[in-house]
Amino acid sequence: MLLYPVYALLFADSGLSVGQISSLFVLWSLTGVLLEVPSGAWADAVSRRLLLWVGPLLGAAGFALWVLFPSYGAFAAGFVLWGARGALGSGALEALVYEELDRAGAADRYALIMGRAHALGQVAVTIAVYGAYGVLGARFPHGTVFALCAVPYLLTALAVARGRRR
């Protein structure tokens, strides 16, 4: 996420107080925690691929709200969508990876593969935060950077939609 190091500053630039900014982070955290438990059940009851498709679209919609309506309400709605995206994706991805590994007779490699995937994800976030934002943030307005943050979510949704159906 290109905006990790500066989004609190961007919210302040939009006129939000320190209390409002703090409440946004509380809202985001509560959304993630409250939706994480049922997300495992959703992954068992609904198509995992559907959840992996809808989740990134929710994240992209959250960024769209931030770009189009930079206000406390839009930032709050965006964080709720972002929290839902994370909850939908985590349970569905973990279940889908385990199921596919089990189908291939490699379920015992689940922890290794998921651990590596999470580590690589953190490396990618670090590169994006320190590399890309320094370049983009210095050259483009905040709205452009927010909009660019939606691109990976949209690409993920596209990849899932085009993926093999079972």
Q: Give the rounded distance of the alpha carbon of 123 from its chain centre.
A: 16
Distance CA 25, CA 33 (A): 12
| pLDDT attached to residue 166 | 47
CATH fold of 7-162 reads Growth Hormone; Chain: A; (1.20.1250)
| DSSP sequence for 42-96 | HHHHS-HHHHHHHHHHHHHHHHHHHHHS-SHHHHHHHHHHHHHHHHHHHHHHHHH
Spell 129-158 as b/e; 16+ CB within 10 A means b.
beeebeebbeeeebeebbbbbbebbeebbe
CA-nearest of 144, 157, 147, 152 to 128 is 152
**Spans of all domains in the chain:** 7-162
State if pTM tops 0.85.
no
Phi, psi angle pair for 4, to nearest 5°: -50, -50
CA 85 – CA 44 distance, rounded (Å)? 17
Q: What are phi and psi of 28, to 5 degrees?
A: -60, -45
Tens-digit pLDDT string for the chain (166 aa): 666 666 777 788 889 999 999 999 999 999 988 998 888 788 788 888 888 888 889 988 988 898 889 899 999 999 999 999 988 888 888 888 898 899 999 999 999 999 998 898 888 777 776 666 667 666 777 677 777 777 877 888 888 777 755 4
